[in-house]
Amino acid sequence: MTIVPGLLIAGWISKSVREGDLRLADISGNEHVIERTPRICQSLPKDSIFVTLLTAGCGVFFHEGGCVTLRTGDLILYDTRRPYLFGFPSPMRQLLVDIPREVFAAQCAPGEVSAPILLGRGSAAEGAQASALEAVLADWVKGRGGDDSISTQATVLDLVRTLAAPRLGGSALPATLSQLAVAKDYIARHLAEPGLSSGRVAEAIGVSARHLSRIFQPTGVSPSRCILEQRLGKARHVLADPGSRHLTIAEVAHCWGFASQAHFTRVFRTRFGHTPGERRPFIT
């Protein structure tokens, strides 16, 4: 994986990261317009499908057949061979994935993208899939995607397929990688809630508890263990932060969904070999 340093051009910052066949751009800035005119399409041809996710601000996407208004959390999918103008009237941020056409056709959907496809609003499930894609892309651009670039690319393509295929005549059945990404994102967003459990995660993503366990098998941990490990990790980070010294051990436990201080102390010591109090920094 190679990372191109951020560039500041006309009020916007772009950071580009490549993973296998895919290229991800993290773009942020103030009010600006990005235009790909018919002349540019001819002189600088591209043969890919891009998926862009607006993570902050709003935008208007003009194309040959009209325009689409985007708000934070929306995804839009479009063919780079076609001209467009993307305008942002206020500060914004977007994550844009460029997928070669042959890769998109083979692994996402075979249909032609003749007009922009707006994704993320269609249903609760679609919104959850868009949120999971945002989490995967955010980790990728920050270098937290892990060492397995093949797995990162496969997860992105699975999520794009799950979102786009129903609009393009492809299979609408989610693959294991996309279901795992949605489950992990749901856990991360609800981690502080005491009622979070593997059963609740299964219900939220629309699978049985047994199937959820199968989804997590490649990770080597059960859904319940995943929840516990993430809670312990968050709590451990808070305990090590001098700025959180004012919080009691019980308050830290409560913040990350533990039923009691006693339970928190027991599982913390089992996991890390010392008590939560021993994790706190010594301040003179």
Q: What is the token pair recorded at 269?
A: 């010591």
C-alpha closest to that of 116 among 161, 146, 150, 76: 76
The strand ranges marked E within the chain are: 2-9, 12-19, 22-29, 32-36, 48-56, 59-63, 66-70, 75-79, 84-88, 92-100, 117-119
The span from the CA of 181 to the CA of 133, in Å, is 8
The span from the CA of 157 to the CA of 94, in Å, is 18
pTM: 0.81
For 2-189, CATH number out of 2.60.120.10, 2.40.420.20, 3.50.50.60, 2.50.20.10 equals 2.60.120.10
The three-class DSSP label of residue 171 is coil
Question: Are the C-beta atoms of 77 and 51 separated by less than 8 Å?
Answer: yes
pLDDT by 10s per residue, the chain, length 284: 333 333 333 445 566 676 678 888 898 888 888 889 999 999 998 999 999 999 999 999 999 999 999 999 999 999 999 999 999 999 999 999 999 999 999 888 887 888 999 998 878 888 899 999 999 998 888 876 555 556 888 899 999 999 988 888 766 666 788 899 999 999 999 999 989 999 999 999 889 999 999 999 988 999 999 999 999 999 999 999 988 889 999 999 999 999 899 999 999 999 999 999 888 875 43
CATH of domain 190-284: 1.10.10.60
Domain layout of the chain by residue ranges: 2-189, 190-284
